[in-house]
């Protein structure tokens, strides 16, 4: 279960970011390490390979790029209703309209988000994070962050850490997984235990939607290099997140795949505003 925050998450994230926007990309990308990144597989309330949506701030429903399903992050939900629904799942079946600019919504505080299942990564390897995003409102604020695809890297707790570490915040992205540390979303505060995964690396794909892209599917991507130093990791999670302004943000075709250093350089040039062959 994710923890609702009293301050905007964007203030607490590392801002090591590149972004690019163009038309929506292909439905499936070869070599995708994310299970069910197109959100087409699943039954009931949520897609396979992802944390179960709460049905209020996060919904899994038709409306994807190619007519299939997508994840909808709704930041217009009142914070008090999100908290009530979190305490008692299904307690809020219909959201109330917010007043004024919406500072009392989850968009003004905790945001809406969902975790993927864990997947392996290799130190020293380049990866490309991609996603198709559709926003109901443009991101006009420089204070609150745009919708994001956040990669979080982890490694097993060492014997020294098990013996000497203080308490950390842990969570399980879904039933049956190991416990992963996250100071923002972890709800279980305790010292590390054998089998725990400690977060050591972060990279964010910011998907800033402009006025002319509002209501349209837009493709975003950035290359990420997994460190080989003390921040090296071998397991990763993706966290989809949306905040301000209060609106509905749709995600589809989320992908993380290996690329060559040369391809990473081409993406860097593209992100600088130059064309890519």
Rounded to 5 degrees, φ, ψ at 205 are -100, 105
Tokens standing for 124?
Answer: 């020293």
Q: Rounded CA gap, 28 and 34, in Å?
A: 11
- What pLDDT shows up at residue 37? 97
Tokens standing for 159?
Answer: 């014997």
- Domains of the chain: which residue ranges? 9-270
Q: Rounded CA gap, 197 and 181, in Å?
A: 6
Given a contact cutoff of 8 angstroms between Cβ atoms, the answer to whether 59 and 248 are in contact is no
> For residue range 175-200, what is the model confidence (pLDDT) as tens digits?
999 999 999 999 999 999 999 999 99
> For residue range 137-189, what is the model confidence (pLDDT) as tens digits?
876 554 557 899 999 999 999 999 998 878 999 999 999 999 999 999 999 99
Given a contact cutoff of 8 angstroms between Cβ atoms, the answer to whether 13 and 145 are in contact is yes
pLDDT at 26 over 80: no
What residues are paired with 70 via a beta bridge? 61
Q: Rounded CA gap, 234 and 227, in Å?
A: 10
The whole-number average pLDDT for the span 252-271 is 91
- Helix, strand, or coil (residue 22): strand
Given a contact cutoff of 8 angstroms between Cβ atoms, the answer to whether 239 and 2 are in contact is no
Given a contact cutoff of 8 angstroms between Cβ atoms, the answer to whether 191 and 165 are in contact is yes
User: Which pTM value belongs to this model?
Assistant: 0.88
**Whole-number mean pLDDT of the chain?**
87
- Who contacts 160 (Cβ-Cβ below 8 Å, separation ≥6)? none
- Who contacts 206 (Cβ-Cβ below 8 Å, separation ≥6)? 17, 19, 145, 146, 147, 148, 220
Given a contact cutoff of 8 angstroms between Cβ atoms, the answer to whether 237 and 118 are in contact is yes
Q: Rounded CA gap, 109 and 112, in Å?
A: 9
Q: What b-and-e string marks burial along 62-95, b requiring 16 or more CB atoms within 10 Å of the CB?
A: ebbbeeebbbbbbbbbbbebbeebbeeeeebeeb
CATH topology (fold) of 9-270: Jelly Rolls (2.60.120)
């Amino acid at each position: 279960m994710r923890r609702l925050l009293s301050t905007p998450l964007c203030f607490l994230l590392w801002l090591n970011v590149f972004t690019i926007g163009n038309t929506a990309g292909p439905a499936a990308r070869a070599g995708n390490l994310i299970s069910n990144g197109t959100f087409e597989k699943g039954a009931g309330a949520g897609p396979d390979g992802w944390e179960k949506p709460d049905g209020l701030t996060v919904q899994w429903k038709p409306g994807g790029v190619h007519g299939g399903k997508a994840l909808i992050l709704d930041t217009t939900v009142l914070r008090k209703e999100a908290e009530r629904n979190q305490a008692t799942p299904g307690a809020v079946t219909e959201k109330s309209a917010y007043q004024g600019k919406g500072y009392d919504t989850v968009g003004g505080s905790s945001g809406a988000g969902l975790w993927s299942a864990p997947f392996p990564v290799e130190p020293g390897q380049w990866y490309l994070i991609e996603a198709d995003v559709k926003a109901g409102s443009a991101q006009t604020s420089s204070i609150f962050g745009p919708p994001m695809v956040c990669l979080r890297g982890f490694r097993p707790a060492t014997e020294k850490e098990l013996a000497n570490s203080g308490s950390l915040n842990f969570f399980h992205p879904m039933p049956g997984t190991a416990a992963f540390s996250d100071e923002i979303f972890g709800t279980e505060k305790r010292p590390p235990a054998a089998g725990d995964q400690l977060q050591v690396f972060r990279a964010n794909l910011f998907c800033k939607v402009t006025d002319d892209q509002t209501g349209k599917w837009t493709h975003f991507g950035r290359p990420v290099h997994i460190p080989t130093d003390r921040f090296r990791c071998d397991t990763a999670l993706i966290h989809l997140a949306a905040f301000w302004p209060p609106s509905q943000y749709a995600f589809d075709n989320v992908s993380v795949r290996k690329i060559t250093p040369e391809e990473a350089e081409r993406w860097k040039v593209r992100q600088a505003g130059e064309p890519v062959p």
